[in-house]
Amino acid sequence: MASKLIFVLALAALAIMVVLPLGWLFYTSLQIPDAAQLSFANYVEAFTKSIYLGPIGNSLIVATCVATIAVAVGTPLAWLLARTDVPGRGALRALIVAAFVTPSFLGAQAWMLLAAPNSGWLNKIWVALTHAEHGPLNIYSLAGAIFVMALYNIPYTFTFVYGALELMPAEMENAASILGARSLRRTLSITLPLALPAIIAGFIMSFLEALAEFGTPAFLLIPARQQVVTTQLYLFFQFPQRIELAAAYAMPLILVTALLLFLQRRLIGRRRFTMIGTKGERRRLTPLGRWRWAALGAALIPSLVAVFLPYTALLLTSLSRAWGLGPVPGNLTFYWYRWALVDNATTQSAIVHSFTYGFAAATIALAIAVTIAFAVTRKLVPAGELLTFICMAPFVVPGIILAIGFYSAYSHKPLLLYGTAWILIIAFATRFLPIAYSNMTSALQTLSVDLENAARTLGAGRVRSLFTVTVPLLRSAMLSGWLLVFIPALRELSCAIFLFTPRTAVMTTVIFDFSDAGNFEAVATMGILIMAITLAIVGVSYRLLGRSLVEAQPA
Amino acid sequence: MARIVIERLRKRFAQTGPLAVDSVDLTVADGEVMALLGPSGCGKTTTLSLLAGFLRPDEGEIRVGERLLSSPAGVVPPEDRHMSMIFQSYAIWPHKTVFENVAYGLHVRRVPRREIVSRVEEVLDAVQMKHLAQRYPAELSGGQQQRVALARAIVVRPDILLLDEPLSNLDANLREQMRFEIRRLHDATGITMVYVTHDQAEAMVTADRIAIMNGGRVEQVGTPAEIYERPRTAFAASFIGRMNVLEGTLVGVDTVACSGFVVRAAAGVSLDTGAKAVVCIRPQHIVLGSVNGTPSAASATNRVVGRITRQTYLGEIRDYLIEVPGGMQLRAVTSPSLQHEIGSEVTLELPIEHCRIVEL
Amino acid sequence: MPQASRGRFLTIAGGAVAGLAIPGIVDGAPQAPSESEVAKLYAGAKKEGLVSWSVAHYPQETAEKVRDAFKAKYPGVDVEFVRQTAQVIYQRLSQDLKANVHQLDVFCSTDEAHYVELKKLNALAQFVPVDRNMIPTQFRILDPDGYYQLGTLALVLVNYNPSKLQPAKRWQQLSDPRFKGQITFGHPAFSGYVGNWVVAMNDKYGWDYFRSIAPNQPKINRSIYDTVTDIIGGERTIGAGPDSLSLEKKAAGNRIDVYYPDDDTILVTAPIAVMREAPHPNAARLFENFFYSREYSQVLAKTYNFPLRADVPSANGASLDKIRWTRVKVDRLLTGIPEVVAKWRETFGV
């Protein structure tokens, strides 16, 4: 009985988290303000006006470029670290983790300091060195936004491809060697094609992230006088509010995502990539010879531009009384840290909120993921496919659209969650549920059902055997699943920006608010605080798990 | 000429770890099938990997013909060895069709396209896979994948074919069938093969000669019959076929005293009297008799009285386990018509011509 | 979850009911509270402990100074505030109101039209501060019904980097090719000040004015204060910016100055209002009342804003009598801002 009850609760939570918001989103898109009947008028308006079509084009361009660059850099990087004797592999991976946990809007803010056309530090250095009239970089451009987003998306492809290369049986490549294929040919004809599912997953992940990203375009593309779908959606929320139009406008994003996932299936098609390997085999690392150090240099570039430069810029700015004066001795101060942590009630409560909401969201997402994944993998319920689909559905819905769905569904009775912490907690939990779910599913699949059955033959009930046998065995998978929700929840902006109220501001929305009017010191300080906290958590988790979080499965 | 000469080969994985391959010397004649037979961890797969060039030896050399392929100073990479290999997991590439898998080595060798088609079709025909040429590996059964691996390896007409436990992932029936196919393939092509297996029957069916490996060393090399009939070590003796191994002390050049009885063998060994030695005799060579029916029920040279502790009817034979004085358990098989009750006493006749003394 | 939110809803409703009994609120013509009523407001505010405030009037640091002055005058009442551009705080407020969520006490936008809309929605409370008579007559009554009052007087004028170029003397000169790649603006869809300025320019010169500036590739930001950041940081050299922050930065030694254009500085009357269902009704009124205190005007003067009260001198002796200024009336803002936002989008792409 207890097992049924828990399962029913999890189902209800799924309905609240996924089904209702998405249903409401669709319903809202058909509504006409002050009219009773439903119609497709919003769709007609959204997709016939050229000012609304332009942003869609821009979004597709940005997403395609970001995903292409992320794959083009992430794949060789993964290959270098997994298959060659490039020096410093451990340190390189740590740097990629640092890039992985950096929210790209923070990177965008840092790159504004570095590469604004005239005032950017890099451009100034260039002008000082070459006496050129202008610096070469302009972060306020489509190219600039693509560059920044690509930087922080490289870790996705890297992680997926690196994982695939690690799991790939050495025999697959040895078979090509013995048939006469040399390193380059082997890599191109065997290794990379075998990593194709991971590469595609990386591409799709980056494409979706870029499509759904709000912060970076808001910071970089408004000055560039370009709109993308997310900034247009934000405008629909401005006065006069057009939530119905926003809902209609959001639909193609979901369609594009669904189309991508369909294409992914088609691409992989009959080539099901199940590979049997024998354990304990030894892999030959490709010796790079005299190219080793050159390769290290190349591998360091993404980290340099994604981590070193931005963090240096943010750190210096956060320690400056006024960033415009530059990092000179008299200008250095801890004023802003004191301001954020002690003097300012808004930032203090935002820090507390970020933590508590992230904590609650991760716990809820994990609880649901464990319950549903358990029920589905153990085939305890009918319609397992459907449940999996529902759990994974938020993956295809960009955060900003999920936020619109949440607002439409929960800003009125009977479930008035808007204005409370719950709407943010549930939104975060929903956004990252797919990560927790796929993590738990793969962990449960590796765990033999016989272990539980053994407990059950000894008289333990299903729930008891779950908690006494399965859960302890899954502890590390559960911890990593929890963290994989907690960390992104800490840095979530695109959902939060639509759902927070004065009493529920979180660190990211506060950063967003400071980002206007040139409060760069405040933004940098809050950014450094978020990152310090996140990296500390990653460090602790590494000790607890004995491995890096980034080795998780692709969603 | 694909004559393989392996000399004093040594390989150690961890700096302080045990030797995975310990001073292996082995010569494989051109056109010969050599099986490396031994239990898991005996160093046979490592030897094969050294042979393929995936590993570099710590000591020793590998030559093929006049060509030095491996030495501590360097290895010719796998791609330049003119070898093919069949892997335990088959390593069929899942992103290529059967045809593409088989054609791969020919593309690498820049064989003209038209010739590729005809050669691939020919070899697929030979392994009865022609009709599945456009399938992807995920759509094939294990046996079919095995055939693809075989076709992919031989289509390039390698000098040497290396096989790493190629049949271990197949079910028993298929395994038996594939042994003969591999042997037939060899007879048709004459390729030199080195075949790693832990299955003695597989080795005996496919190999011209067998190298028994244990603990990184080669214990004995010989034809299946030689090893079966004249095992040089207790390990070799017990690894090929079933064998009773009686421990004792050498009391004469051809006589071993076990606890409670004495066994003489047909041939002596060059060991000092008093040394530890073992006598080997195969279960089917032991002659059982009832205690009542024999003239003398007492133990004598090559005769001992024992008690039946287990008896299994296997249809074609009966399999007995008999405890003899000193507590040793001997195994004997008889025709199914001869029946002894469990617990009854029997005499065991150990014919001199079937007893072999080997070093412990 | 539902229980939690209902509980919260009840507290909010309770607060609103309590608000009806607050001094100074009479149906019909509102009157300023008496001294003793202010004391009662303070007592009530101390119990509430907090006032929640959205402000677009001035930059973060000025808002912090206002907060600190209020807390110094009324210990025990904390101020929680968000500084954002006018349209953003208005969007958040309307999103809340639509959901019947009431968390904001005091609303300070720079687009007077917002207050007309909010009044229509019956979302504002009537309140008249004690010292309303201390401010210049012409701005004393923004809303005859007393739903909102003047909170800040601000100017939109030419900002420039004096070490790099001569300023445009007239707004019209911004289309001069010598300003190509030099100009920085805020965005009328975000900033109320910018909205006021764009409507004024549109009404004076027609939209062709902006079309003629477009080839100069102005950098478009969100807030009007981004103009100051761009000029100080060296990103751009001239723009339509504020007076207060620029003069403050100039005084601190930054390379920025203002020019009062010959074809009119734009004066913006940025209002303040208490929300009808403010969760902290006493603190909200006390806070609005504080805007007419000497302390508030002193903060404004210190930060180079116009002091509201006539008895507090301005920082640089600036006086509205000495400059040519114009002001967009609220009726015009109502239709004008949505109109120019759409045109802006066409001309500048965002």
- Domain holding C298: CATH number? 3.40.190.10
pLDDT at residue number C25:
47
Structural domain includes residue C3: no
Confidence of residue B234 (pLDDT cuts 50, 70, 90): confident
Cβ neighbours, 10 Å, residue B217: 18
Does C205 reside within a domain?
yes
Mean predicted lDDT score pLDDT of chain A:
85
In a domain? residue C7: no
Please tell me the distance in Å from A151's CA to the nearest CA on chain B.
30
Tell me the nearest-neighbour CA distance from A35 into chain B, angstroms. Answer: 55
pLDDT above 80 (res C298): yes
Give residue-wise pLDDT tens across range A169-205.
888 889 999 999 988 899 999 999 988 888 988 898 8
pLDDT the model gives residue C316: 77
Q: How far is CA B46 from CA A34, A279, C154, in A?
A: 79, 14, 83
Q: Burial letters for B331-357: b for 16+ Cβ neighbours within 10 Å, e otherwise?
A: bbbbeeeeebeeeeebbbbbeeebbbb
Nearest to B89 among A180, A194, A277 (CB): A277
pLDDT in tens, A44-67: 888 888 888 889 999 999 999 999
What pLDDT sits at residue C3?
39
Helix (H, G, I), strand (E, B) or coil at A503: helix
Contact A114, A313 (CB under 8 A): yes
Let me know if residue C238 belongs to a domain. Answer: yes
Q: Residue written as tokens 């980034």?
A: A550
Structural tokens at position B107: 């593309």
Q: Which chains are adjacent to chain B, needing at least 3 Cβ pairs under 8 Å?
A: A
Q: How confident is the model at residue A269 (pLDDT cuts 50, 70, 90)?
A: low
Instruction: Tell me which range, A240-244, A426-430, A544-548, is most confidently predicted by mean pLDDT.
Output: A426-430
Q: How far, in Å, CA of B86 to CA of B94, rounded? A: 16
Per-residue pLDDT at C11 exceeds 60: no
Domain assignment present for residue C261? The answer is yes
Residue C61 banded pLDDT, cuts 50, 70, 90: confident
Nearest to A239 among C87, C100, C232 (CB): C87
CA–CA separation, C151 vs C157, rounded Å?
Answer: 19
* d(C-alpha B360, C-alpha B344), whole Å: 32
Banded model confidence at residue B64, pLDDT cuts 50, 70, 90: very high
Asked whether the beta carbons of B138 and A272 are under 8 A apart, the reply is yes
Q: Tell me, yes or no, whether C124 and C184 share the same domain.
A: no
**Nearest residue of A to residue B83 by CA position?**
A178
> Is B35:B195 a contact under the CB 8 Å cutoff?
yes
Look at residues A480, A493, A479 and name the one whose alpha carbon lies nearest to residue A530. Answer: A493
Burial class (CB in 10 A: 0-12, 13-18, 19+), A41: middle
Beta bridge partners of A158: none
State how far the Cα of A549 lies from the Cα of B11, in Å rounded to an integer: 36
- Separation of alpha carbons A485 and A437, rounded Å: 10
pLDDT tens sequence across C36-46 = 899 999 999 99
Contact between residue A498 and residue A403 where contact means Cβ atoms under 8 Å apart:
yes
Closest CB from A174, A270, A284 relative to B136: A270
Question: Nearest-CA distance from C141 to chain A in Å?
Answer: 26
Q: Do A278 and B89 touch (CB under 8 A)?
A: yes
End-to-end Cα spacing for chain C: 40
The answer to whether B347 and B301 have CB atoms below 8 angstroms apart is no
**Chain A, window 433-492: residues with a beta carbon less than 8 angstroms from a chain C beta carbon:** none
Each residue's pLDDT tens digit, A416-465: 888 899 999 999 999 999 888 888 888 887 777 777 778 778 877 777 87
Share of chain B above pLDDT 70, in %: 97
How large is the average pLDDT for residues B55-69?
93
CB-based contacts of A12, cutoff 8 Å, min separation 6 = none
Could you tell me where the DSSP H helices lie in chain C? 2-19, 35-48, 60-73, 86-98, 113-120, 192-205, 208-213, 225-233, 244-251, 281-290, 294-302, 330-348
Percent of chain C whose pLDDT exceeds 70:
92
Is the model more confident about B337 or about A241? B337
Dihedral angle computed from the Cα positions of residues A407, A408, A410 and A412, in that order, rounded to the nearest 10 degrees: 120
| CA angle centred on C7, ends C4 and C11, rounded to 5° | 140
Count of other CB atoms within 10 angstroms of residue A136: 12
- What's chain A's Rg over C-alpha atoms? 24
Classify residue C339: in a domain, yes or no.
yes
**Who's near A15: CB < 8 A, 6+ residues apart?**
none
Per residue in A478-518, pLDDT (tens digit) is 888 898 899 889 989 988 988 998 889 999 999 988 887 77
For chain A, list the contacting chains (3+ Cβ pairs, <8 Å): B, C
| Cis peptide upstream of residue A398 (ω within 30 degrees of 0) | no
Beta-carbon contacts of residue B148 (< 8 Å; ≥ 6 apart): B90, B92, B98, B101, B102, B127, B129, B137, B140
B152 has a chain A CB within 8 A of its CB = yes
Contact call for A223 and C5, based on CB within 8 A: no
Mean pLDDT of A84-105: 89
C-beta of residue C142 within 8 angstroms of C-beta of residue C150:
yes
Q: Which of A306, A340, A353 is nearest to A524 (CA)?
A: A340
Shared-domain flag, residues C180 and C235: yes
CB burial readout C195-223, b (16+ within 10 A) else e = bbbbbbbbeeeebebbeebeebebbbbbb
Res C227: pLDDT: 94
Mean of per-residue pLDDT scores for chain C: 89
Written as one letter, the residue type at A119 is S
Q: What is the pLDDT of residue A548?
A: 53
User: Is B183 within 8 Å of B166 (Cβ atoms)?
Assistant: no
d(CA A290, CA A297): 13
Contact indicator for A232, A52 with CB cutoff of 8 Å: yes
Tokens of B16: 């302080």
Spatial contact of C205 and C172, defined as CB atoms under 8 Å apart: yes
The pLDDT value given to residue C4: 38
Model confidence pLDDT, tens digit, residues B35-47: 999 998 899 999 9
- Is there a single domain that holds both residue C185 and residue C299? no
Are C93 and C187 within one domain?
no
Q: Given a cut of 80, is residue A276 above it in pLDDT?
A: no
Picking from A222, A237, A502, the nearest residue to C80 by CB comes out as A502
Pairing mode, strands B19-28 and B67-71:
unpaired
State pLDDT tens for residues A399-417. Answer: 888 888 898 888 887 788 8
- Identify whether residues C50 and C160 lie together within a single domain: no
The answer to whether residues C58 and C116 belong to one domain is yes
Asked whether the beta carbons of residue B93 and residue A273 sit closer than 8 angstroms, the reply is: no
C199 in any annotated domain: yes
Q: Tens digits of per-residue pLDDT, B252-295?
A: 888 888 877 888 888 777 777 888 888 889 999 999 888 765 55
Domain membership of residue C102 (yes or no) is yes
Residue C140 sits in the same domain as residue C33: yes
Residues pairing with B333 in the sheet:
B319
DSSP A78-132: HHHHHHB--S-HHHHHHHHHHHHTS-HHHHHHHHHHHH-TTT-HHHHHHHHHH--
Cβ-based burial of C236 (10 A; exposed 0-12, middle 13-18, buried ≥19) = buried
CB contact under 8 A, A189 and B55: no
Same domain, residue pair C278 and C255? no
- CA distance linking residue B348 with residue B307, whole number of Å: 10
Q: Which of the four pLDDT bands, split at 50, 70 and 90, describes residue B326?
A: confident
Model pLDDT for residues C102-148, shown as the tens digit of each residue = 989 999 999 999 999 999 999 999 999 999 888 988 899 999 999 99
Domains of chain B: 4-229 (3.40.50.300), 242-358 (2.40.50.100)
Residue type, A341: L
Q: Are B332 and B312 in contact (CB under 8 A)?
A: no
Nearest CA in chain C to A135: C235
The mean-pLDDT minimum among A531-535, B101-105, C170-174 falls in A531-535
* pLDDT band, residue A555 (cuts 50/70/90): very low
Residue C196's domain spans which residues? 154-267+323-348
Q: Examine the pLDDT at A274 and tell me if it is beyond 80.
A: no
Are C135 and C177 in the same domain?
Answer: no
Looking at residue B1, its pLDDT comes to 64
Task: For residue C229, give the chain A residue with the closest CA.
Answer: A518
Q: Cβ contacts of residue B112 below 8 Å, gap of 6+?
A: none
Chain C: closest CA distance from residue A66 (Å): 22
Instruction: Report residue A120: phi and psi, to 5°.
Output: -60, 140
Q: What percent of chain C has pLDDT over 90?
A: 70
Nearest chain A residue to B96, by CA: A271
Distance from CA of A387 to the nearest CA of C (A): 23
Beta-bridge partners for A434? none
- Closest by CA position to B42, among listed B165, B185, B174, B201: B165
Summarised one tens digit per residue, pLDDT across range C309-338 is: 988 988 877 788 888 999 999 999 999 999
For residue A176, give the nearest of A192, A157, A160, A158 by alpha carbon: A192
Does the distance separating the beta carbons of B152 and A172 come in below 8 Å?
Answer: no
Degrees, nearest 5: CA angle A203-A205-A206: 65
Same domain, residue pair C139 and C96: yes
| Cis bond upstream, residue B336 (ω within 30) | no
Which of the residues A173, A177, A178 would you substitute to probe the B interface, choosing the one with the greatest number of B C-beta atoms within 10 Å?
A: A178
**Is there a single domain that holds both residue C298 and residue C333?**
no
Residues 78-137 of B with CB under 8 A from A: 78-81, 83-85, 87-91, 93-96, 104-105, 108-109, 136
* Interchain proximity A418–C99, CB inside 8 Å: yes
Number of domains present in the structure of chain C: 2
Claim to verify: residue C179 and residue C92 sit in the same structural domain: no
The answer to whether A516 contacts C350, with C-beta atoms less than 8 Å apart, is no
Contact B79 A171 (CB under 8 A): no
Res C238 pLDDT > 80: yes
Q: What is the rounded distance in angstroms from the CA atom of residue A286 to the CA atom of residue B54?
A: 12
How does the average pLDDT of chain B come out, rounded?
Answer: 89
Q: Which residue has the tokens 């100055």?
A: C257
CB-nearest partner of A225 from C4, C82, C348: C348
